[in-house]
């Protein structure tokens, strides 16, 4: 096997490593994230994180290259050779032309870069949004009256009745199986929450859900961008008991348990 190996010069190893790092961040990580989270879309690495990782990679490469004078020299040699050009008449025609093309293209690439950077463009405003704002005091202490003190449901009928209410009123957006994938989510940029996601209702006490269902988008504080949420304020149409039933059904449909309120004694 060893006779097949050839030594890549330090310069090209550095260049290839940086390219591989970039491709990994640009495609590998989003793809892996998609597989891990089970979502359908790639989850791109944020540009700022990307810039940070790339800077780290470049610094890493520079540190490695500068560990010894030989390495510095080995790294610098192809660059200098490229700049010097063919002084001894040993280059192939192809290499000579490649050098000329690269040298000629560089100023224009630079010019293009400056043009695209200084040209005025508008990007859509991205705002940070708090997904779980603090529950108002009036709701904080509420308990689901349809559950026994040990957390079990008083009557299975409540779950079934809640299921009907859920499928009629909530399913269009939150989905048949509460995966946040109902057909009405299609037009909304703020996607309906998936209750199967372990980061949503499984981390919340039932009083929180009661608040969210009752007050809807209109009850959200500004940091949770209420202007973009399509969540209805169900207090206008559903009774408190119906809302508690829906909450039972949500956990049942999604196959998760509510968080137990902390005991402060």
Q: Which residues bind another protein (CB under 8 A)?
A: 38, 80, 83-85, 87, 103, 106-115, 118-120, 122-125, 127, 163-164, 167-169, 171-173, 175-177, 179, 181-190, 196, 217-218, 222, 225-228, 230, 232, 236-238, 252
Specify whether the backbone of 192 is left (phi greater than 0), alpha (psi in -120 to 50) or beta. Answer: beta
Residue 42 or 60 having the CB closest to another protein:
42
Closest distance to another protein from the beta carbon of 46 (Å): 15
Residue 28 or 226 having the CB closest to another protein:
226
DSSP-derived secondary structure letter, 145: T
Closest distance to another protein from the beta carbon of 84 (Å): 5
Closest distance to another protein from the beta carbon of 57 (Å): 24
From the centroid of its chain, how far is CA 2? 43
Count Cβ atoms below 10 Å from residue 4 Cβ, excluding itself.
5
Distance CA 194, CA 181 (A): 7
From the centroid of its chain, how far is CA 216? 25
Residue 107 or 149 having the CB closest to another protein:
107
Distance CA 238, CA 235 (A): 5
In sequence order, what are the beta bridge partners of 147? 153
Q: Cα separations (Å) of 236 from 173, 199, 232, 245?
A: 19, 28, 9, 16
From the centroid of its chain, how far is CA 125? 17
Helix ranges, the chain (H): 10-23, 29-37, 47-65, 69-84, 93-118, 137-140, 156-165, 171-174, 206-215, 240-254
Specify whether the backbone of 89 is left (phi greater than 0), alpha (psi in -120 to 50) or beta. Answer: left
Closest distance to another protein from the beta carbon of 11 (Å): 14
Residue 16 or 218 having the CB closest to another protein:
218
Residue 205 or 211 having the CB closest to another protein:
211
Residue 221 or 261 having the CB closest to another protein:
221
Closest distance to another protein from the beta carbon of 37 (Å): 12
Residue 171 or 205 having the CB closest to another protein:
171
How far is the first Cα of the chain from the last one, in angstroms, to the nearest whole number? 70
Closest distance to another protein from the beta carbon of 149 (Å): 26
Closest distance to another protein from the beta carbon of 169 (Å): 5
DSSP-derived secondary structure letter, 9: P
């Amino acid at each position: 096997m060893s006779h097949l190996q050839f030594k890549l010069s330090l310069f090209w190893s550095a260049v290839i490593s940086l390219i591989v790092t970039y491709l990994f961040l640009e495609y590998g990580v989003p793809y892996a994230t998609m597989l891990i989270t089970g979502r359908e879309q790639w989850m791109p690495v944020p540009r700022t994180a990307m810039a940070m990782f790339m800077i780290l990679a470049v610094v890493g490469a520079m540190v490695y290259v500068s560990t010894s004078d030989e390495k510095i020299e080995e790294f610098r040699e192809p660059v200098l050779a490229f700049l010097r050009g063919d002084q001894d008449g040993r280059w192939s025609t192809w290499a000579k032309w490649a050098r000329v093309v690269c040298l000629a293209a560089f100023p224009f690439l630079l010019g293009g870069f400056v043009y695209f950077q200084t040209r005025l463009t508008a990007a859509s405003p991205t705002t940070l949004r708090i997904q779980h704002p603090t529950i108002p005091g009036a709701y904080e202490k509420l308990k689901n009256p349809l559950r026994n003190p040990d957390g079990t449901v008083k009557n299975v009928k409540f779950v079934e009745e809640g299921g009907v209410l859920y499928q009629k009123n909530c399913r269009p957006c939150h989905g048949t199986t509460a995966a946040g994938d109902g057909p009405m989510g299609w037009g909304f940029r703020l996607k309906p929450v998936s209750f199967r996601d372990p980061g949503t209702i499984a981390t919340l006490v039932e009083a929180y859900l009661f608040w969210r269902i009752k007050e809807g988008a209109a009850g959200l504080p500004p940091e949770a961008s209420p202007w973009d949420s399509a969540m209805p304020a169900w207090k206008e149409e559903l009774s408190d008991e119906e809302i508690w039933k829906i909450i039972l059904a949500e956990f049942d449909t999604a196959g998760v348990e509510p968080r137990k309120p902390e005991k402060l004694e």
